[in-house]
Structure 1
Amino acid sequence: MTNALQTGVIRLQEATQSIRVRMRNPQKVRGVEAWLLVVAWAIAGGAIMMTQLGALGAIDATVLYLAGGLGLLTLAVHIVLRFVAREADPFLLPIVTVLNGLGIAQIYSIDIANGHEGWAADSIRQVAWTALAIVAAIIVLVVIRNHRVLTRYRYLSMFAAIGLILLPMVPGVGSTINGANVWISIGTFSFQPGEIAKIFLAIFFAGYLMTARESLSVAGKRILGLRLPRMRDLGPILIVWLLCMAVLVVQGDLGTGLLYFGLFTVMIYVATGRREWIIIGMVLVVLAVGVMFTLAQTHLSEAAGLGLGRASDRIDIWLNPFDQELFEQEYGGSGQIVRGLFGMAHGGMFGTGLGLGRPAITPQAADDFIFASLGEELGLVGVFAILALFFILVTRGLRIGFRGPDDFSKLLAVGLAFVIAIQVFIVVGGVTRVIPMTGLTLPFMASGGSSLLSNWIIIALLLRLSDSIRKTQEVDA
């Protein structure tokens, strides 16, 4: 009886191990990714063809060739993963391929409406930036074979982030676009270095919190029911965050400041597990908005050289978008958000169809308001599908983090996933008037090379993290 029981237990263990091996079969994982990529290519290519048929009544092979080139680059990413990250998450690459492709199709529709052709068209520049971003993602995958080496460079990442944020303030390099001094310009080339800075900040926060997690969680005094950490533990990360926020206020880029603040709050909450940080973060946001609005209203910000006037205008637009004077205001008025809202209402449940809407009526429809453009031509069903893709993308990133075997892996994956999540929330919330507009761009979809480059690098890092974590779990098993 005992021998039979032992034999049964052994066979059960062997069967469990066999199932575990099959579930972790790298070949199977990459096979799933390959099939999903084919579906992603079909969706993206079909969207571009439908845009051409809807707007032009004919198919332009040139644009399809360019889109096919991007498809080959995503195939190159898949092939690279088969060699350097065989167990990476199979859903990330197909999802961002669909999002990026739909964004190009929508920007192409806006270009046709505006009569833009050749390299003057935003869609062609978007294709070029996408190609550069995918190549950068491949380089990250090839160069960074083990994400844990990034812990050695956490302080270098800190200085890199601060340097990138300060770069637009250098005379002769920085330039002001749409009221925000966060760009660098060299000839006709413009770039927003703060987009890359968010990646370095995530690496620094993850590396520092890994070493200070215990002291931040346990040590400190209790004030009003909240246990506050010692300044010597919180000081370094707080100084970096305050410096970044101060520079962004001066530059007038409060959207990116809100992104950094959210990243800081979430990562320190994940590191310590203390809900007090969420409460403190919400209180600080309310106080900061109140102080900035008051300063802007009293015109003290202009005297101090702060870029708070835009923030005040956007809050005013948010509260009173249908005010006739604000609507007719040529610059900084509410015409953009009102036209975006009416465009989405025009799209209804199923949309007008790609290439059949009038998204170009909304100013900067390919940039800040591409979500409104998509809402008009794809309808409520279409934007819900897009939000579902973002939801899956973020949850896959969080899943990678929660499965991490060490604090650095967990914090970095959660931080990178949250960067995408908060951008989507801020952009969609601004377009739908849930919150004031901030000027951030919808990841992978809005026109903008800086955002594309940084977000594809984030995906490459998440792919690397997922591969390393799965391999570590196999060794432990």
Structure 2
Amino acid sequence: MATIVSYTARPRRVTQALLLAFAVGVGVTAYALVGLGRFEELPPDLMQVGIGAAVVAVLLQIAVMWRAPYADPTILPIVVLLNMIGIAVIASIDSAKALYTSTATHVADRQMIWTVLGAVLCIAVLVLLRDHRWLRRYTWIFASLGAVLLLMPLVPGLGDERNGSRIWISIAGNSFQPAELAKIAFAIFFAGYLVSRRDTLALAGPKVLGIHLPRWSDFGPILVAWGFAMAVLVFQTDLGTSLMFFGLFVVMLYVATDRLSWLVIGAVMFLPPAVFAATQMSHVRRRLTCWLDPLSRENFDTCGQVNAGLFGLANGGITGAGLGDGRPNVVPHAESDFIYTSLAEELGLVGAFAVLLLYLLLVQRSLRAAVGISDGFGTLLAGGLGFVIALQVFVVVGGITRVIPLTGLTLPFLAAGGSSLVCNWIIAGILVRLSDAARRPAARHIAGTSPTTPAEVMA
């Protein structure tokens, strides 16, 4: 006879409210410092920005108190803080272009609009998605949706090629990157698919070099995922997106089965296509050259963007030039691909590391939700979404600092871009829902044979 004990968890909504207020205060202060640093006066729209940020924070707080009272109190404040810092840095880039090149850009204004839309969709996720397990019912629908979104840029007249990659679609003059939405659909599909086939995929097969490989009959799913990744690589010539989707599947497969061999197989399978891209695709080969030797005489002009980014990082030093005092307009695509360079130039090594710590904490809270949740589907989904954020940060920051070659991914919540920002806000809403399920008080069996851990429930 099992003994049932109820554990009491604190909602900690006051903690979240204080953290949201802190995030808004830091973000608005950063926005004000941009105006003071660049023009020695407060931005004329500072009041509107402050009120707008406060309203968004209040609505997020109300939505969580209403629909997810036991959610992790740090997820949304981190997201709001990253988003506000991104807007401040983008505003600095806009002002630098206006001052030094007489080019009027309004990227920061558009980013604010996308922020409001993203926050609204985050609230919609919290209100409409009462139970994350509802998503599992539509596993194959999400698979079909993800495939359609991923292949949409290949449709003639709809796809738009930029910088050698065909990952955009254009509708009525507005561009959108469907892969950003596809990553959410595929994360849900992978979680639903793998949790239902976990036992089969975990069975050991032949042993090679001391590693138990999966059975040959279980290679079908990874071959299909590999095929989709290769289609993105070959037809859209986008190594970054290809790596993100295949890496997402392999990592979730490892979490589901706890077999290291899947990670080894994934790395081995992705290596030949990466070599092919580096040798046969001109823009990938150029990025590889700029990774290896950007400052040489023969490569200096070709690798101008990378070199400008390196000079910007060096100009930041330890404490930075100050918000509004840098020259981020010198770096091409400073508001999107190279926003981390702009941030590091004005906030220095201290600010750059602080932002990385915020990302680290966000990923850690995602994994904490994955460990604490009571069903295998939720565990895989939280782990997969946390990995997507971590991979994007590593790839973008690693490319800018020349740890790895540059790719086409964006820095979550910081970089300019409506599709990326809105979809990452949706991910934030799902993570809040999952963390609420993980922390919500429930009766647990502490005696008997009933499952009590996520691993036991998944099994």
Q: Give the TM-score of the pair, scaled to structure 2.
A: 0.92
- What do residues 241-289 of structure 1 show as CA deviations (whole Å, max 9, x unaligned)? 4224313431111111111122112111111111112222333343332
Matched, 1:273 2:258: yes
Q: 2:54 is matched with which residue? A: 71
- Residues 68, 245 of structure 1: alpha-carbon distance in 2 compared, 3 angstrom cutoff: farther
SS in structure 1 at match of 2:298:
helix
Amino acid at match of 1:311: V
Distance 2:92 2:225 in 1: 42
Equivalence for 2:382: 413
SS in 2 for 1:326: coil
Match of 2:440, SS?
helix
The structure with more radius of gyration? 1
What corresponds to 2:288 in structure 1? 315
* 1:378 corresponding residue in structure 2: 347
Farther-moved stretch of structure 1 (56-65 vs 36-45): 56-65
Q: Is 1:52 equivalent to 2:35 in the alignment? A: yes
Q: Residues 30, 38 of structure 1: CA spacing in aligned structure 2 closer, same or farther, 3 A cutoff?
A: same
Cα gap change, 1:261/1:243 in structure 2, threshold over 3 Å: closer, same or farther? closer
Look up the match of 1:181.
Answer: 166
Letter of the aligned partner of 2:369 in structure 1?
I
Counterpart position of 1:98: 81
CA distance in 2, matches of 1:347, 1:46: 20
Distance between the aligned counterparts of 1:250 and 1:148, measured in 2? 35
Q: Which amino acid aligns with 1:43?
A: V
Q: Name the structure 1 match of 2:451.
A: none
**Secondary structure of the equivalent of 1:132?**
helix
Q: 2:141: which partner in 1? A: 156
Q: How does 1:168-207 map to 2 (within 5 A)?
A: 168-207=153-192
List runs of 5+ in structure 1 lacking aligned partners: 1-12, 297-307
What code does the residue aligned with 1:351 have? G
CA distance in 2, matches of 1:149, 1:437: 38
Q: Check the 8 A contact 1:70/1:130 in 2, yes or no.
A: no
1:61 to 30, 41, 44: 44
Helix, strand or coil at the partner of 1:438: coil
CA distance in 1 between partners of 2:233 and 2:274 (Å): 14
- By how many angstroms is 1:196 displaced? 0.5
Aligned partners of 1:175, 1:63: CA distance in 2, in Å? 36
SS at match of 1:435: coil
Distance in 2 separating the partners of 1:366 and 1:420: 19
- Specify which structure has the bigger relative contact order, considering alpha-carbon pairs within 8 angstroms and separated by 6 or more residues: 2
| Equivalent residue number for residue 336 of structure 1 | 305
Match of 1:210? Answer: 195
Instruction: Tell me: CA distance 1:118–1:433, structure 2 relative to 1, closer, same or farther (3 Å).
Output: closer
The alignment of Structure 1 onto Structure 2 pairs a total of residues equal to 441
1:61-91 CA deviation, whole Å, 9 max, x = no partner?
A: 3244134313312321110111111111100
Farther off after superposition, 62-71 or 384-393: 62-71
| 1:443 matched residue in structure 2 | 412
Q: Which residue in the other structure is 1:304 paired with?
A: none
Q: CA RMSD in A?
A: 2.1
SS in 1 for 2:194: helix
Question: Secondary structure of the equivalent of 1:324?
Answer: coil
Per-residue displacement from partner, 1:406-445 (whole Å, max 9, x unpaired)? 2111100000001000000000000000000002111000
The aligned residue for residue 115 of structure 1 is 98
Matching residue of 1:80? 63
Check conservation: 1:249, 1:257, Cα contact below 8 A: no
Alignment partners' CA distance in 2, 1:289 and 1:172: 29
Asked if residue 147 in structure 1 is aligned to residue 132 in structure 2, the reply is yes
Q: For residue 230 of structure 2, what is the aligned residue in structure 1?
A: 245
Aligned match for 1:257, one of 242, 263, 272: 242
Q: Which amino acid aligns with 2:259?
A: R
| Aligned residue type for 1:144 | L
Aligned equivalents of 1:107, 1:474: Cα separation in 2: 48
Where do 1:26-41 residues align within 5 Å? Answer: 26=11, 29-41=12-24
1:304-354 C-alpha deviation (Å, 9 max, x unpaired): xxxx222111111111201233322xxxx3111111111111111000100
| Deviation at residue 119 of structure 1 after TM alignment | 9.1
Amino acid at match of 1:410: T
Separation of aligned partners in 2, 1:171 and 1:472: 52
Deviations 1:1-51 (A, max 9, x none): xxxxxxxxxxxx9xx97xx53xx122xx11110010111011101000011
State the one-letter code of the partner of 1:312.
R
Paired with 1:178 and 1:63, the residues of 2 have a C-alpha distance of 35
Deviation at 1:293? 2.4
Q: Which runs of 5+ in 2 are unaligned?
A: 447-459
Which one of the candidate residues 342, 352, 362 is aligned to 1:393?
362
Residue type at the aligned position of 1:272: T
Counting only pairs closer than 5 Å after superposition, residues 447-462 of structure 1 correspond to structure 2 as 447-462=416-431
For 1:54, give the aligned amino acid: G
- Counterpart CA distance in 2 for 1:476 and 1:417 is 29
8 Å contact from structure 1 (residues 48, 64) kept in 2? no
Is residue 25 from structure 1 mapped to residue 5 from structure 2 by the alignment? Answer: no
Q: TM-score, normalised by structure 1?
A: 0.88
Identity %: 47
In the alignment, the residues of structure 2 paired with residue 473 and residue 421 of structure 1 have an alpha-carbon distance, to the nearest angstrom, of 30
Distance in structure 2 (CA, Å) of the matches to 1:476 and 1:121:
57
Report the counterpart of residue 393 of structure 2 in structure 1: 424
- Contact kept, 8 Å, 1:220 with 1:228, in 2: the verdict is yes
Question: What is the identity, as a one-letter code, of the residue corresponding to 2:331?
Answer: T
Residues 85-106 of structure 1 deviation map (CA, whole Å, 9 limit, x = unaligned)? 1111100000011100000000
Give how far 1:232 is off: 4.5
Structure showing the higher helix proportion among its residues: 1
